Structure 1
Amino acid sequence: MSATRLRYTVLMEQNEDGGYTVTVPSLPGCISEGSTWEEALAHIEEAISGYIEVAKKLGKPIPVEVSVPLNTSNAEI
């Protein structure tokens, strides 16, 4: 049996204090933070792995990617 690699879109938002909050729209409740962009990405990777591991242990289906509309009214250019 071959391993499957899952990919998820993450939404990263810079906090007022300069850190970052990251969410995964396809995985409800999967959220993490980091003081830098790189740290936030590393933490969300761990959170995604943990989310999937728990879902498997509980016999729950592993969510697949869902499309999320980009709110361009708040985007900075």
Structure 2
Amino acid sequence: MRYAVVIEKAGANFSASVPDLPGCIATGETVPEVAIEIRDAIRFHIEGLRADGLDVPRGVSLAKYVEA
């Protein structure tokens, strides 16, 4: 499955979240590090949903850059 991930600068590090998986977040000192961490967080989140007998949401969010 593919999920849109939002990566933001958060003080001295970076944070990542997954809009289609509420509560699925990760942090890292660099963008590459937070990308690895959010992949692991997504897998762990999905495993938890399945273990609890819950449906795994599909990745439906899109990310676009918009000129302002």
- The answer, yes or no, to whether TM exceeds 0.5 is yes
Structure 2's unaligned 5+ residue stretches are: none
Runs of 4+ in structure 1 off by over 6 angstroms are none
What is the count of residue pairs matched by the alignment? 68
Q: Deviations over 1:12-56 (max 9, x none)?
A: 001222x11000000000010000111000000010000000111
> Which residue does 1:64 correspond to in 2?
58
Sequence identity percentage: 35
Structure with greater proportional strand content: 2
Q: Give the gaps of 5 or more residues in structure 1.
A: 1-5
Matching of residue 38 in structure 1 with residue 28 in structure 2? no
TM-score by length of 1: 0.77
- Indicate the RMSD between aligned Cα atoms, in angstroms: 2.0
CA contact (8 A) 1:25 1:68 kept: no
1:9 maps onto 2:27 in alignment: no
Higher relative CO (Cα under 8 Å, sequence separation at least 6) belongs to 2
Q: Distance in 2 between matches of 1:7 and 1:23?
A: 13
